[in-house]
Structure 1
């Protein structure tokens, strides 16, 4: 899943030669919600170094931008947060907590999405030839107004054997479609797809407040024509 930044981002630094062994590290939590108007402006990320070597990391803050086709891009946003420590080398087998605080303007109408990226800093020993693997983890951070909510409207049609969906969010909160269930009525026959199935079927399922995304899904036994209704809802 994510299929977006709800899972680990992966970068490879290619030098020359063979591949040394490398293990990832653990980051928790992977999603955080802040509500500045209610005094919830800060939280903590914990990085657990499960390697037998030192792990140098740095924290990078990015603003999340979602296009109508569901693709995502990210722009630097370090000025909106204070992070401590901003970078550190974590000893083998040890954990490090990173505290971050939102210092931007409190949102009043719609949530703002960020990613706090835990980025491994590759250390290249003198004379090293090989391939180094750097693992970056993106923690989703949503800064919301009070009483934020998602309100979805879904339009669906069948085209070229695929289900085409257009999902609009008129609410003030980000909606994660892969955390919901999809109910389809095809010629009066009801089909329900749970969150596990949607995680496999939807690549980028985050709908921003006041925005929309459109995407295609490939489903088994989909008729060529017929009456169709679709609804995303909380399970």
Structure 2
């Protein structure tokens, strides 16, 4: 049996990203949860912090004290759309943009149905789907400032690899959209520029404010293995 895909999900969450201001009328925003199946679906909405380590792994402590989510639980009939309002209650004057996750979790529900005589063995798998959206509380005047801190060679399991480390020293997140990375050999002087297709797993990634991220890609052809200097551009 093939595993369920996101196309099988019986509801959708939109938008995928929402930005609030820390005070005023724009400290409230809304998401929509839409039923796309032919049976009722129960969904719980909650907000978590979004902490990210050097490798991009997220930790999500609960953030319920900083937000009001209404309604926090919904039961959607087929085709129904429910608006969920999210209001920031935290610091009205944060120094940096604050990143969060809004998570929609499908809950198991049992609807009373007439019992039918079972004449054959039946296996039914009910897959429960979670959707995760980005939620930012962004004060006015913040901006990103991404610097490339290092680029170096590492031998990982016998394979030559390029390890790059970025640091967002700014006060707002930055997507590494359209990343181009230029490498110059420290021995032969050759220069190679890698495009987004060659930087899969790096290009498009998110650097949260005041965060560092480290990425590893195969060592590029055309550059002698060894020390390199690197520059980058976002397009």
- Measured against the shorter chain, the TM-score band is 0.7 to 0.9
Which of the numbers 164, 188, 191 marks the counterpart of 1:189? Answer: 191
Render the CA deviation track for 1:158-204: whole Å, top value 9, x for unaligned.
Answer: 22211101111110012223x3413223345342423x665x42399
Render the CA deviation track for 1:119-171: whole Å, top value 9, x for unaligned.
Answer: 11112468996432110101110112211111011121122211101111110
**TM-score scaled by structure 2?**
0.79
**TM-score scaled by structure 1?**
0.79
How many Å apart are 1:42 and its aligned residue? 1.5
Structure 1: runs of 5+ lacking an equivalent: 1-18
**1:224 aligns to what?**
225
Q: Is 2:193 aligned against 1:208?
A: no
* C-alpha distance in 1 between matches for 2:172 and 2:88: 17
Structure 2: runs of 5+ lacking an equivalent: 116-121
Q: Is 2:49 aligned against 1:63?
A: yes
* C-alpha distance in 1 between matches for 2:134 and 2:53: 17
Q: How many residues align?
A: 215
Q: Which has the higher contact order (CA 8 A, sep 6+)?
A: 1
**2:90 aligns to what?**
104
Q: Is 2:136 aligned against 1:151?
A: no
How many Å apart are 1:70 and its aligned residue? 2.0
Alpha carbons of structure 1 residues 93 and 37: separation in structure 2 relative to 1, 3 Å = closer
Choose 1 or 2 for highest CA Rg: 2
Q: Please identify, of 180-189 and 145-154, the stretch whose mean Cα deviation from structure 2 is larger.
A: 180-189
SS in 2 for 1:76: coil
